[in-house]
Amino acid sequence: MSDKNKSLIIFDFDGTIADSLPVIYKTGGEIIKDYTDDNISPKEVEKLKESGIRKAIKKLNIPFYKFPIMLLKIQVGIYNHIDEVEPFPGIEKTIQDLKKDYRLAIFTNNRKKTVNKFLKQNDLDFFEFVKDNPLLRSKDKKLSKMSKNALAYVGDQAGDMKAAKETGVLAVGVDWGLDSKGRLERNGADFIAENPEDLNEILKQLV
C-alpha cells in the first residue's frame, strides 16, 4: 500500500508520546509561584488528573485568563529541559510498528520546535508533520483542518477526546498521561489504551 492510501493517525505529544509531566512540574514550579501561593506536589498530581485542567487551575486559584501566558513561559522551560524528557516505555516500538501501516502526525499544545528537538534526539522522526497550538486556540477547529483521511486522534486529555469527536475521527485515550481513564471515557473516548502495545491492537480493529 502506498503511503498516500494509508490512514492517518494523529498523536498528541505531552503525556502521550513524551513523559514530560515531571519536567513540566519541575520547570513550571517557579512560574506557578508567580500566579498562586499553592504548589503542585507529586502527591497532588493524581487528584489534579481527575479534576481536569480547568478545575485544577481553579483549585490552585489561578485565573483562567492568565493560564495561556503562564503556559507559554512553561513551554520555554520545557524546551530548555527537553533533554531530560524520555519517551514513555514502549511507545518507541509502537510508533515504529504503526509506521508500517499508517501515516503518522502530531498535533500538540507544545511548541513545534520543542517536539522536533525531542523526536530528533530520540530517533523518532517517523511523523509526516507536526502541528502546534501553543496559544491554546480551539483544538477541534485546528484538528479538522488536518484530519483528511485521518482515522484517529490519540491523546491523554479530555480535551483531546472532545476535539476528536467534534472533528469526526475516533478518539483514542491513553491511560499513562494527564487525565484519568474515567475522565477520558466521560469525554467521549472510543477506546482506551492501557499501555503503548494496546495501540497496535486497537488500531488494527479499525482498518
Segment 11-27, tens digit of pLDDT: 999 999 999 888 877 77
- Residue 40: the pLDDT is 64
For 180-207, what is each residue's pLDDT tens digit?
A: 999 999 999 999 999 999 999 998 877 6
Q: Is-above-0.75 flag for pTM?
A: yes
Reduced to 3 states, what is the DSSP secondary structure of residue 182? helix
For the chain, where are the alpha helices, taking DSSP H only?
Answer: 21-33, 45-51, 53-59, 67-80, 91-99, 112-121, 139-144, 158-167, 181-186, 196-204
- Give the residue from 178, 174, 207 showing the smallest Cα distance to 190: 174
pLDDT score of 85? 95
Architecture of domain 3-19+86-204: 3-Layer(aba) Sandwich (3.40)
Q: Which residue has the cell 472533528?
A: 167
Burial environment of residue 170 by CB neighbours within 10 A (0 to 12, 13 to 18, 19 or more): buried
Q: Report percent pLDDT > 70 for the chain.
A: 88
Set of cell numbers at residue 119: 523526536
Q: Give the separation between CA 169 and CA 105, rounded to whole angstroms.
A: 14
Contact 151, 102 (CB under 8 A): yes
| Cβ atoms within 10 Å of 57's Cβ, excluding its own | 19
Measured CA angle at 184 (ends 37, 187), to 5 deg = 100
| pLDDT tens-digit series, residues 25-66 | 777 777 777 877 766 665 555 455 555 566 667 777 778 788
